[in-house]
Structure 1
Amino acid sequence: MKPTRRIEFQNRLSLHSIIIAGAAAVSVPACAQQQDGQLWLQANTNAAIAKDLQLTVEQIARFSDRQQGLYQTEFGGLLGYRATPNIELGFGYRRVDFFNANTAGGEHRLRQHIVATFGPLTTRLRVDQRFSSDAPGVGIRIRPLLRFNHRLHESFTLFVSHESFFLPNSTRWGQRSGYERARNIIGVTVPVGRFIKADVGYLNQFRLAQGNTPTQMEHALNFQFTFNLTDQSAASVTD
């Protein structure tokens, strides 16, 4: 286990107090024993490298009241191939690091996905392979996602999404098999410039109890910015 890295989060407002009022927007089981207010930030840059082939570079930072500021960063890339106008296949890698009260070892993650779009509905099936620096073993994670988009205006779109996390195996470094969490988001997609769009919304994440860890309810302000350097459009799914 690596030592805790302390990063000061100066002048931190209570994210919990800001976000908790939005909890009723997406209801999940009331049995959660721990509540946490969070801020999630993500920036994606899309660039075409060949016909129907696109590279996406991703950067993520997540902040938490309970975990004392910045607790997770992710950096990686995704190669997407548009097999048909409605189907995208993807393969990618992410480096994940943890900070402050989150003392888990860093991870290397491989991932594959298939995204299908049917009018306002977008579905994604993602499979992750997680490699921890704490101990050997590969943790498999299966993540089906469903997103519904409703255009409110020529430039504004309302969306809601649900993603489930299934863990088919356990590992020596802490992954436990079973249904792990449900992640729900409600928000709007808005243009920020000619080549930039933003998904802004409320994210609710419910984690089931595992071992000595109680059930957890996380409320997050979620901001995702996408920079398009290509005429190809990436699938509209978050994280």
Structure 2
Amino acid sequence: MIGRAHLLLAGLCLVASGARAAADPVQDGQLWINTTLFGSVGDVAFFAEAQPRIGSGISRLDQLILRPAVGWKVNESLTLYQGYAYVEDHGTPGRVSIEDRSFQEINWKIGEIAGVKVSSRTRFEQRWQSGGRDVGFRLRENLRFARPLTEAKDSISAVGWTELFVALNDADWGPRAGFDRIRTFVGLELPIGGQSTVEIGYLNQTARAPARGTELDHILSLNLFIRN
């Protein structure tokens, strides 16, 4: 009887440890480098972005994104964009998949609350990938907060933002409707001349991966924003 109890207890321990292992997220350290050029001619606005993402413990290129867009400045606080993104995914060694995205974007400078500048970016994406035939629809909402650390005109600012991604449908190349990922950033914004800035900090990404469960990425994020 005691022997059976020991066997049962051992079995329960194995099941529990297996369940914990299955629930543990797949973690990675990454480096994301982004350069974005912003400009406008009258009420016509544009931006062009290049972003290599280096993953697998910052050892190899994981993804490359090229993202231009053109838009209309409704007023000083609100700009609407139509854009395109070319995405190379190198996540699987020896295999590169290509994704094309069309997107519509709303940029809104909400205002200042207790000295904190608040802005929003809402993006609706239509995604085509080389590994499937379906169009994946995704909605992204970014809320950004920035507070100057001094009263000087060119003060360094503390920055924090979070962005939620929601897939709106299932697609045959991977996405499943519902929560897709969330990103949270904390760091500093440094002025480098005119309106241009450098933003550096820690970015955490928690993503749902249908084949592997949850992915958790710890990212050193370096961003150069050039504004004319």
TM-score (norm 2): 0.80
* Residue 39 of structure 2 is aligned to residue 47 of structure 1: yes
Where do 5+ consecutive residues of structure 2 fail to align?
A: 1-22, 112-116
The offset of 1:62, in angstroms, is 0.2
- Residues 133-144 of structure 1: matches in 2 within 5 Å? 133-144=130-141
The offset of 1:87, in angstroms, is 1.0
What do the CA deviations read for 1:40-82 (whole angstroms, capped 9, x no partner)?
Answer: 001011232x312122111010001258511100112111321
Q: Contact 2:49 / 2:66 at 8 angstroms: preserved in 1?
A: yes
The offset of 1:89, in angstroms, is 0.7
The offset of 1:99, in angstroms, is 2.0
Query: Please, which of 62, 77, 99 is the counterpart of residue 71 of structure 1?
Result: 62
In structure 1, distance between residues paired with 2:209 and 2:24: 9
Where do 5+ consecutive residues of structure 1 fail to align?
A: 1-30, 231-239
In structure 2, distance between residues paired with 1:180 and 1:107: 16
- Structure 1 segments of 4+ aligned residues over 6 angstroms from their partners: none
Letter in 2 for 1:44: T
Map of 1:36 onto structure 2 = 28
Map of 1:203 onto structure 2 = 203
What do the CA deviations read for 1:118-143 (whole angstroms, capped 9, x no partner)?
Answer: 22110121111111112211101100
The offset of 1:192, in angstroms, is 2.6
What do the CA deviations read for 1:195-220 (whole angstroms, capped 9, x no partner)?
Answer: 6311111100011352x312111010
Map of 2:53 onto structure 1 = 62
In structure 1, distance between residues paired with 2:214 and 2:187: 25
Query: Please, which of 142, 145, 153 is the counterpart of residue 145 of structure 1?
Result: 142
Letter in 2 for 1:96: V
* Residue 206 of structure 2 is aligned to residue 214 of structure 1: no
* Residue 85 of structure 2 is aligned to residue 110 of structure 1: no
Letter in 1 for 2:31: L
The alignment of Structure 1 onto Structure 2 pairs a total of residues equal to 197
Q: How many percent of aligned residue pairs carry the same amino acid?
A: 28
Map of 1:174 onto structure 2 = 174
What do the CA deviations read for 1:4-56 (whole angstroms, capped 9, x no partner)?
Answer: xxxxxxxxxxxxxxxxxxxxxxxxxxx652111000001011232x3121221
TM-score (norm 1): 0.77
Range with bigger deviation, 147-156 or 55-64: 147-156
Query: Please, which of 114, 126, 129 is the counterpart of residue 126 of structure 2?
Result: 129
More helix by share: 2
* Residue 79 of structure 2 is aligned to residue 85 of structure 1: no
Change (3 A) 1:169 1:213: same
Change (3 A) 1:36 1:96: same
In structure 2, distance between residues paired with 1:32 and 1:44: 35
Letter in 1 for 2:60: G
More strand by share: 2
